[in-house]
């Protein structure tokens, strides 16, 4: 004789939902929702796309990622990486924005990363990597985006470089 058990969710002794079902065969596993656990990871990579600016103000790039935190107490760890950049004659800077908020230091002027000008008119700069631990205090979708600017001339990320932005929700 076969037996069937039907439940909407399974909870631990503390009343925390470990496994739930939406009645269509889709399950949500929630056992890792404790403090310091990675709850979700979303990432965007671009290859073959030239990103450039001549702006001395922060200019949005196409390097963006959206994440919807599961709790207002969650933190979001963001990383953005790029293999190579070029700057023509002047210094360049990178920063991360959460929606319309610059997460970089306003007093630094160049955000989270700054590449000083080189000695020639076309300088290949080192790879950049930005990391930031954010506290968005939201359960609504949040957009993280890399912004760039230059002190003069043109700053660009060549189409041969792969650029990636990743957001990880960390349970609080």
Structure tokens at 95: 């920063």
Question: pLDDT digits over 56-95, tens only?
Answer: 888 898 889 999 999 999 999 999 887 766 666 567 778 8
- Residues 59, 62, 68, 71, CA torsion sign: negative
Give the pTM: 0.70
Indicate if the pLDDT at residue 21 is higher than 90: no
Token pair 């933190």 in the structure block, residue:
75
Indicate if the pLDDT at residue 121 is higher than 60: no
Q: For the chain, which residues make up each domain, given as ranges? A: 1-31, 32-170
Q: Which of 14-23, 24-33, 80-89, 99-108 has the lowest mean pLDDT?
A: 24-33
Specify the CATH number for 32-170; select among 3.20.20.140, 2.60.120.760, 3.40.50.410, 3.40.50.1470: 2.60.120.760
Sheet of 9-11: strand order equals: 9-11, 17-21, 27-29
Q: In sequence order, what E strands does 1-151 have? A: 9-11, 17-21, 27-29, 38-46, 51-53, 59-67, 75-82, 85-87, 92-98, 101-102, 113-115, 123-125, 128-134, 142-150
């Amino acid at each position: 004789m076969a037996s069937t058990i039907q439940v909407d969710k399974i909870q631990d002794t503390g009343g925390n939902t470990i496994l739930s079902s939406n009645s269509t065969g889709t399950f949500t596993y929630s056992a890792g929702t404790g403090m310091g656990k990675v709850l979700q990871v979303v990432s965007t990579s671009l290859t073959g796309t030239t990103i450039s600016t001549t702006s001395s103000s922060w200019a949005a790039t196409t390097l963006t990622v959206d994440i919807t935190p599961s709790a207002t107490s969650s933190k979001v760890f963001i990383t953005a990486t790029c293999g190579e950049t070029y700057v023509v004659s002047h210094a360049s800077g990178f920063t991360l924005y959460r929606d319309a908020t610059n997460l970089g230091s306003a007093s630094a002027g160049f955000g989270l990363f700054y590449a000083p000008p080189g000695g020639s008119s076309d300088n290949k700069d080192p790879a950049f990597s930005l990391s930031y631990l954010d506290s968005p205090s939201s359960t609504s979708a949040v957009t993280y985006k890399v912004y760039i600017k230059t002190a003069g001339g043109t700053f660009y990320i060549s189409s041969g470089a792969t650029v990636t932005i990743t957001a990880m929700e960390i349970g609080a």
